[in-house]
Amino acid sequence: MVNWSPTLQTAVSDLEVEYSEESGYLYHIRYRVAGGSRNDWLTVATTRPETLFGDVALAVNPEDDRYSKYIGQMAIVPQTFGRHVPIISDKHVDKEFGTGVLKISPGHDHNDYLLARKLGLPILNVMNKDGTLNEVAGLYSGLDRFEARKKLWAELEETGLAVKKEPHTLRVPRSQRGGEIIEPLVSKQWFVSMEPLAEKALQAVEKGELKIIPERFEKIYNHWLSNIKDWCISRQLWWGHRIPVWYIVGKDKEEDYIVARNADEALGKAHKKYGKDVEIYQDPDVLDTWFSSALWPFSTLGWPDLSAEDFKRFYPTTMLETGHDILFFWVARMVMMGIEFTGKAPFSYIYLHGLIRDSQGRKMSKTLGNVIDPLDTIKEFGTDALRFTVALGTAGQDLNLSTERLTSNKAFTNKLWNAGKFVLQNLPKEGDILAWENILSYKFDTGDSVLNLPLPERWVISKLHLLIESVSASYDKFFFGEVGRETYDFFWADFADWYIEASKGRLYNSGNDGNSVTFMAQAVLLYTFENILKVLHPFMPFVTEELWQALPNRKHALIVTPWPETQLPRCTSSIKKFENLQTLVRAIRNTRAEYSVEPAKRISASVVASNEVIEYIAEEKEVLALLSRLDLQNLHFMNSSPGNADQSVHLVAGEGLEAYLPLADMVDISAEVQRLSKRLVKMQKEYDGMLAKLNSPKFVEKAPEEVVRAVREKATEAEEKITLTKNRLEFLNSNVLVSK
């Protein structure tokens, strides 16, 4: 028995059948017991009444007392002019489903087919291959299966054999390709016995010869192979590899056939077996496309010649990367075929990526109109942005693709390009040989070379070396998405946002003598950026190669450049120290924003900390002043609070690190008091309005729950802002009094 597509007119494999939950009916039909009284009926509940013409028996559970007296008798199939079928017992009949009486139609149901084979019952087919009923259906012959269902039920109602029709949720088999309802059909087809092949494929995973990533798919793989069925490989299609079978004209097809590579070989075999006068013809069917695809790993390399150079060099390969949705269609079958015909699995690792879905997590389809065309996407966002977006996915997990993600990664690509421009613009001119000798002579692979750098340079080099080690380990574990995310964070959050900004003050100093801060900044910029390009190249090959080629002294393309070493020096204490500096800068920036200090205005500051912390913070006072927009001449470092502390905004940047920003240096206090007072009145009015709503039973009871929740959240947020504004006004007013 096969899955038959009446629309495509071909058999389809089990894997190409998708089941959907759909609303339908359960039809209750009376079958008269032959030779019984007027009240001797068996009522059958079925979802497919049109198949009753193919009934060969009625079955009941032997422990069902309602029907035990009928076991061994005969029942009359309705609308068949008195055709009798036996009433039998079988323990597998579910007493609770429907009426507890099962009609057995082995020509049109997989379970009925197996039961009929077990019990030795005949098999009747009532369906043509186009989905119409055949001559077995008598007066219904030629009707479409669903038209026949309607007509049959109407006539059963007229004759009193229809008991009732009740709503029922059906598990409907539909073709993955065309969507039409699949018909179970008995048909002569070519099959492959799968159990012996599956056993070897299971052992490959069990022995560790084959690993599946992510590992959870190994259980799915094992379950499918452990419950595998024989594979119908013949298809009634126009296009495909022909079945390599030839028949003898005038002979029985089931007994007299020849398997050969081509027609000449088949004819030669036929002459040997049947004499010179025979004629042959090839089976008109083609192979399931997944059958020929399963041979691909070795058939393309010279197989069956196992000594072929390509076969010896490329088989087996290291990894197969593909979607998790074809693990059974293709991957498992390649494994089975590879082991069977070569003795080895075709690859050592299987990496399964997720499916790309739309922003709402829906599968893309023309019907939904949510298909994202990659060519259109590339035109709008760029090849690298699209590639980077999809490469950030996690193995086995579907990726919801949205314009927001693409826009973000387009911005990342632009940021990378602009960083490259900055690096190039701040390197010596290519003709300045002495400067380039100094820059290129500086190495970062020894501890001393890193420790001799200023703090920001020690920090970024240490972070870079940690990144290289981490992403190299992630590559080895096939955590590709993690590599992309880590590199994204390092480039944007560390290199672009912090080091490039910190380096600007150094780059404008003169000198390329190998000892100047400028030289070290140039060397660090170049070294860090070129390693970022190396790490990002698998994700963004075009923009990284373009930037790489633009860098001076590039002898080879980036794609053939060696991967960075992983055991490189790093200074963890420098990372901690610079993080303290970052925390201080953020605190000052936040305070400036809170008090609406003009971005270009430089303000005074007093930094308070222990001698140890002051030492390394003060060493980088230029960086602190540059990043925080502080007045370098009025930037002070001390161990205790300054004298004007009560007239300053006090910041706690971290444990043992504080700062005081003189208020009068930042804002016009009187003007700020007026501004905040007006703002407070407005916020209080809005807050009172929200409270009035929340205190109104009419609003709370009748408004949608999500609306009420949104108002409550806004009220809480407004209350916090009001408290913050009041505290700030109190602080400002106290300073107004002090200044008077």
Query: In 3D, which of 25, 43, 20 has the Cα closest to residue 146?
Result: 25
Average pLDDT, the chain: 91
Region 680-706: what's the mean pLDDT?
89
For residue 371, what are the CA distances in angstroms to 35, 357, 367?
Answer: 63, 9, 9
Residue 646 has pLDDT above 80, yes or no: no
Per-residue exposure over 420-449, b if at least 16 CB sit within 10 Å of its own CB, e if not: bebbeebbbeeeeeebbebbeebebeeeee
Question: Given the DSSP bridges, would you call strands 84-89 and 10-12 parallel, antiparallel or unpaired?
Answer: unpaired
Model confidence over 322-348: pLDDT tens digits?
999 899 999 999 999 999 999 999 999
CB count within 10 Å of CB 586 equals 14
pLDDT for res 716:
92
pLDDT for res 432:
84
Region 528-545: what's the mean pLDDT?
97
Model confidence over 39-88: pLDDT tens digits?
899 999 999 999 999 999 999 999 999 999 999 999 999 999 999 999 99
Q: How many residues does the chain have?
A: 740
Mean pLDDT is lowest, of 331-340, 508-517, 538-547, for 508-517
Model confidence over 599-632: pLDDT tens digits?
899 999 999 999 999 999 999 999 999 999 999 9
pLDDT for res 739:
38
pLDDT for res 524:
95
For residue 313, what are the CA distances in angstroms to 306, 316, 334, 361, 685?
Answer: 11, 8, 19, 42, 78
- What Rg, from alpha-carbon coordinates, does the chain have? 39
Residue 582 has pLDDT above 50, yes or no: yes
The band of 509, judged by pLDDT with boundaries at 50, 70 and 90, is low
Model confidence over 13-27: pLDDT tens digits?
888 899 999 999 999
The band of 176, judged by pLDDT with boundaries at 50, 70 and 90, is confident
Alpha-carbon distance 705 to 700, whole Å? 8
Model confidence over 284-311: pLDDT tens digits?
999 999 999 999 999 999 999 999 999 9
Alpha-carbon distance 146 to 164, whole Å? 18
Assess contact for 453 and 531: CB atoms under 8 A: no
Residue in this structure with the two tokens 């979802």, named with its chain if needed: 47
The residues facing 654 across adjacent strands are: 657
pLDDT for res 674:
77
Report the greatest alpha carbon distance in the chain.
125
- Tell which phi-psi region holds residue 28, choosing left (phi > 0), alpha (psi between -120 and 50) or beta: beta
What tokens does 576 get?
A: 């901690």
SS3 203: helix
Model confidence over 704-726: pLDDT tens digits?
888 889 999 999 998 988 988 88
Predicted structure pTM score:
0.76
Assess contact for 732 and 740: CB atoms under 8 A: no
pLDDT for res 333:
97
The band of 737, judged by pLDDT with boundaries at 50, 70 and 90, is very low
Backbone angles phi, psi at 553, to 5 degrees: 60, 40
pLDDT for res 367:
74
Q: What percent of the chain has pLDDT over 70?
A: 98
Mean pLDDT is lowest, of 94-108, 366-380, 529-543, 621-635, for 366-380
The band of 530, judged by pLDDT with boundaries at 50, 70 and 90, is very high
pLDDT for res 449:
82
Region 654-661: what's the mean pLDDT?
86
Alpha-carbon distance 391 to 537, whole Å? 12
Task: Give Cβ neighbours of residue 214 (< 8 Å, ≥ 6 apart).
Answer: 352, 395, 396
pLDDT for res 421:
97
* 394 secondary structure, DSSP code: P
Residue 734 has pLDDT above 80, yes or no: no
Residue 510 has pLDDT above 70, yes or no: no
Q: Provide the angle, in degrees to the nearest 10, between the axes of the packed helices 517-536 and 500-507.
A: 150
What tokens does 188 get?
A: 């002569």
Chain centre to alpha carbon of residue 122: 48
Q: Could you tell me which residue, 324 or 255, shows the higher pLDDT?
A: 324
The band of 508, judged by pLDDT with boundaries at 50, 70 and 90, is confident
Q: Which of 184-198, 436-450, 648-662, 712-726 is the most confident on average?
A: 184-198
Assess contact for 495 and 528: CB atoms under 8 A: yes
pLDDT for res 514:
47
For residue 726, what are the CA distances in angstroms to 157, 679, 723, 731?
Answer: 81, 10, 5, 9
